Amino acid sequence: MGRFEGKTAFITGGARGQGRSHALALAAEGADVAVLDICRQIPSVQHSMATPEDLVETEKLVRDLGQEFIGIQGDVRNKDEVDAAVAAVEERFGRIDLVCANAGIMATTGPPAQEIAAWHDSVDTMLSGVFYTLKAVIPGMIQRGEGGSIVITGSTSSMRGVAYKVDMLSPGQVGYGAAKHGVLAIMRNFAMALGQHRIRVNTVMPMGVNTKMVVNDFFAGVIADAPPGWMANAMQQGLVEPEDITNAVAFLLSEDARFVTGTALAVDSGQLLL
């Protein structure tokens, strides 16, 4: 019997990448899955974002595992769209037990990163979007009285700066780091207030992960210009796979972590040690 039998998961940014990996792992252990993903391009982002076809593929893969799936195209920057998505999922599944607040963008490269829109898109997606997601799911969790588990996706950029030159002090780059630092404040406050309701809130902080967010020509240029050791870590590891992050997320979501809350778990091969 899987760890998530009878549970319902709500995952933002699950059309592809880490979010899809989380969806498949939770489904493989018995969860029904709902995904909210924008499935279109935000102009300040140079790397390609997910498409409607990506969301259809996630649906197919979840259904192949024998679980129910709801795919919703919507934008976590918009509180009304997040509220509507959560309402639709609760209407159809009757509950949300597990949450991955995972949607993200890397508006850190090229001329668009230097525009102020990149600051707003980054903070709106990865800070406000996380806040909207948590605010939307907790009333139902509290009302049902059966607890719940929420994992926010931070980054090693939740704990450190990465700008190695003045040009990197762009709205998109600094907005990324500000949002990823900021989610720790969201986590700590929600974890404190929700503990009495047996709702746990944690953060996973990945190092570089093998997804289209960083495996693209634009980010390759950032790496090529970087000083030696910019991505160094104690294990001398390059990118990790989405499944490496999923393993940590699934642990935090599961009863294996039933007394773990308010924790920021780095999956970073020791990057933050250096």
Of 4, 13, 128, 170, the residue at the interface with ligand NAD (CB under 6 A) is 13
Could you tell me how far CA 240 lies from the centroid of its own chain?
16
What CA–CA distance (Å, rounded) separates 257 from 236? 28
C-alpha distances (whole Å) from 90 to each of 31, 142, 194, 244, 259 are: 14, 13, 19, 29, 26
Residue 64 or residue 241: which is nearer to ligand NAD going by CB? 241
When binding is defined by CB under 6 A, the residue of 9, 26, 65, 103 that contacts ligand NAD is: 103
Q: How far apart are CA 51 and CA 39, in angstroms?
A: 4
Strands 199-206 and 148-153 turn out to be parallel
12 belongs to the binding site for ligand NAD (CB under 6 A): yes
Cα radius of gyration rounded to whole Å, the chain: 18
Paired with 204 in beta bridges are 153, 265
Cβ nearer to ligand NAD, comparing 49 with 191:
49
Smallest distance from ligand NAD to CB 188, Å: 18
**Chosen residue from 9, 10, 11, 19 binding ligand NAD by CB under 6 A:** 19
Single residue of 32, 37, 244, 268 touching ligand NAD by CB under 6 A? 37
| 238 phi-psi bin (left φ>0, alpha ψ -120 to 50, beta other) | beta
| Range 120-159, binding ligand NAD (CB under 6 A) | 125-126, 129, 153, 155
172 binds ligand NAD (CB under 6 A): no
Question: In angstroms, what is the minimal distance from the CB of 30 to ligand NAD?
Answer: 23
Q: CA-to-CA distance for 143 and 98, rounded, in angstroms?
A: 15
Does 50 help bind ligand NAD (rule: CB under 6 A)? yes
Could you give the string, one character per residue 207-246, with x where binding to ligand NAD holds by CB under 6 A and - elsewhere? -xx-xxxx--------------------------------
Residues taking part in catalysis: 176
For 76, 149, 182, 224, the CA distances from 178, given in Å and listed in that order, are 17, 24, 6, 24
Q: Is 177 in the site for ligand NAD (CB under 6 A)?
A: no
Tell me which residues touch ligand NAD (CB under 6 A): 12-13, 15-19, 37-38, 49-50, 75-77, 102-105, 125-126, 129, 153, 155, 206, 208-209, 211-214
